[in-house]
């Protein structure tokens, strides 16, 4: 399923393969079909205030999609913040004067708000899907801030449509596209591509809720008819396995935002009954490749995409990308659109002449029996790695076990026990939050 035709078209449909009576989003009150959804989006678009930017903070996926599509119809760019913290929102409002917020629950935003609700729209379903200019600036997404200040990345409608169609070719190519349940928010690029855009451009059905606890995830999956696709993160997978929660048969589980250990993937396959696959990508380029951890460590590029050497490493090109995008990771390029991920340049450290990867140190720390969650990072002094750990073990017990797995020179110091890791909704951690948590422990 090549994305090349997407870039060639001047306008692209808001809803691909439009069938008015087909179910689109499930939430309170049952399924909303495609025709009713488009009628409601058009009605909301008429109610939006003047402005060039909309800060979409809706948690419910139906509300998010309604606001997102209404903004597209009005030519308004949607801002996707790195998080919902008051300071982050205040900074965004300051950087984008005249912006308004789309919300489905009251919150402090510092700008005018539009309450998005499940509209009882009297408008008839349109005969065909409205279209949006391919070059329209649909989204400005912000990086997570894991390595510093969140940075903006502009996304045009053609690029979002192209990536969604490539992902659908990889994950939803069967005769009946799956129903998607997701634990990640639409405000993250991975969440946007694998939920809202898969519903709009990948012919998938979408569950509106944003389940967090294992029991809620299982309940949401049970409310959807097969085939089912769970879009999640390693943090949520670890919680699902730990809770021993019975899941309905789930045809496919997709994970991203952090490395997925093969042992965790295998445990989830035994729990769900379906394949557990992983997405590789970045905010700048979107989703790029996938792999099946239980089958090996090689990544397979999405159809039509390619990697090529660049002055600073490797860059990715694709039919949905307006220009090549340099990658921050070190890759070993193989034939047939395959590659191995060697690590991020900024992830490599040198302590006492010993080189190591922070990701590998983190993986080995998580393998310690009794460690529930952990993150390894380098504090501001830059001398050696530190670690925050959630565990019932003592710091000494963890260090002693970890010393059997890695060179003692590389042991995280300090290693501090905390009640929880300061993760955001996608399981990622911002450097500023890690440093603050370390300071609170006296590190």
Can you give the pLDDT at residue 119? 60
| DSSP letter for each residue of 146-195 | TTSS--EEEEEHHHHHHHHHHHHHHH--SSSPPEEEESS-TTSHHHIIII
Range(s) of the domain holding residue 29: 4-343
Looking at residue 32, what is its pLDDT?
Answer: 93
The two tokens of residue 97 are 């004067």
Q: What is the pLDDT of residue 1?
A: 38
Q: Give the pLDDT mean for 188-212.
A: 95
- Whether 152 contacts 189, CB under 8 Å: no
Work out the average pLDDT over 306-323.
92
Indicate the residue among 295, 315, 343 that finishes a domain: 343
Whole-angstrom Cα distance, residue 186 to residue 66? 12
Same domain, 421 and 301: no
| 419 and 337 co-located in one domain | no
Token representation of residue 23: 């179910």
CATH of the domain at 220: 3.40.50.12780
Q: What is the pLDDT of residues 82-126, one digit of tens each?
A: 888 788 888 889 999 999 999 998 888 889 999 998 665 668 999
- Both 248 and 365 in one domain: the answer is no
Residues 276 and 151 in one domain: yes
Q: Are 304 and 415 found together in one domain? A: no
% of the chain surpassing 90 pLDDT: 66
Mean pLDDT of 222-251: 94
**Is the pLDDT assigned to residue 64 strictly greater than 80?**
yes
| Domain shared by 210 and 119, yes or no | yes
Domain boundary among 297, 323, 343: 343
pLDDT of 108 reads 84
Asked if residue 225 has pLDDT above 50, the reply is: yes
Question: Do residue 180 and residue 275 come from a single domain?
Answer: yes
The pLDDT score that the predictor gives to residue 3 is 41
CATH of the domain at 433: 3.30.300.30
331/323 Cα distance (integer angstroms):
20
Q: Mean of the pLDDT values across residues 423-431?
A: 81
Whether residue 146 is predicted with pLDDT greater than 70 in this model: the reply is no
Q: Are residues 323 and 413 in the same domain?
A: no
Of all residues in the chain, what percent carry a pLDDT higher than 70? 94
Residue 349, CB-side half-sphere exposure with 13 Å CA sphere = 24
Token pair in block for residue 410: 């590389």
Q: Quote the number of domains for the chain.
A: 2
Q: How far, in Å, CA of 252 to CA of 14, rounded?
A: 26
Structure tokens at 111: 């700008």
d(CA 366, CA 263): 11
Of the residues 312, 343, 374, the one at which a domain ends = 343
pLDDT score at 356 = 78
Asked if 277 and 214 sit in the same domain, the reply is: yes
365 and 315 share one domain: no
- Does the structure show a pLDDT above 80 at 137? yes
**What's the pLDDT score for residue 382?**
63
Distance CA 90, CA 109 (A): 7
Same-domain status, 305 and 173: yes
Task: Give the per-residue pLDDT at 2.
Answer: 39
Q: CA-CA distance, 29 to 78, in Å (whole number)?
A: 27
Angle at 104 between CA 224 and CA 71, to 5 degrees: 90
């Amino acid at each position: 399923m090549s994305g090349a035709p997407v870039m060639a078209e001047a306008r692209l449909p808001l809803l691909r393969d439009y069938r008015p009576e087909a179910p689109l989003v499930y939430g309170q009150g049952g399924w909303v079909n495609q025709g009713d959804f488009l009628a409601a989006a058009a009605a909301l678009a008429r109610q939006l205030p003047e402005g060039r930017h909309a800060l979409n903070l809706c948690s419910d996926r139906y509300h998010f999609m309604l606001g997102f599509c209404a903004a597209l119809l009005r030519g308004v760019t949607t801002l996707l913040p790195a998080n919902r913290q008051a300071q982050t929102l205040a900074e965004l409002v300051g950087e984008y004067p005249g912006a308004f917020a789309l919300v489905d629950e009251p919150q402090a935003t510092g700008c005018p708000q539009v309450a998005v609700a499940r509209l009882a729209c009297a408008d008839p379903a349109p005969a065909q899907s409205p279209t949006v200019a391919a070059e329209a600036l649909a989204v400005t997404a912000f990086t997570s801030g894991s390595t510093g200040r969140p940075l903006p990345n502009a996304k045009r409608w053609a690029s979002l449509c192209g990536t969604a169609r490539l992902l659908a070719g990889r994950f939803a190519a069967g005769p009946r596209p799956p129903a998607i349940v997701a634990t990640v928010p639409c405000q993250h690029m991975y969440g946007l591509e694998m939920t809202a855009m898969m519903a709009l451009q990948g012919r998938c059905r979408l569950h509106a809720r944003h389940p967090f606890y294992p029991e809620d995830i299982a309940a949401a999956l049970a409310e959807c008819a097969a085939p089912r696709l769970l879009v999640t993160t390693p943090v949520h997978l670890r919680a699902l396995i730990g809770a021993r929660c019975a899941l309905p048969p789930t045809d496919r589980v997709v994970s991203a935002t952090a490395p997925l250990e093969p042992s965790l993937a295998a445990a989830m396959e035994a729990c769900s009954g379906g394949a557990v696959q992983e997405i590789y990508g970045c905010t700048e380029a979107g989703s790029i490749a996938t792999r099946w951890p239980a089958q090996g460590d090689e990544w397979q590029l999405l159809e039509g995409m390619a990697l090529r050497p660049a002055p600073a490493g490797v860059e990715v090109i694709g039919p949905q990308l307006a220009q090549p995008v340099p990658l921050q990771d070190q890759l070993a390029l193989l034939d047939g659109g395959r590659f191995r991920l060697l690590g991020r340049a900024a992830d490599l450290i040198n302590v006492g002449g010993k080189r190591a990867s922070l990701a590998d140190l983190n993986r080995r720390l998580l393998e310690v029996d009794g460690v529930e969650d952990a993150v390894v990072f380098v504090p501001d002094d830059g001398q050696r790695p530190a670690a925050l750990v959630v565990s019932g073990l003592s710091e000494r017990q963890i260090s002693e076990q970890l010393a059997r797995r890695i060179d003692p020179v590389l042991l995280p110091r300090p290693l501090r026990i905390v009640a929880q890791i300061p993760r955001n909704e996608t399981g990622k951690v911002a450097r500023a939050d890690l440093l603050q948590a370390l300071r609170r422990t006296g590190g």
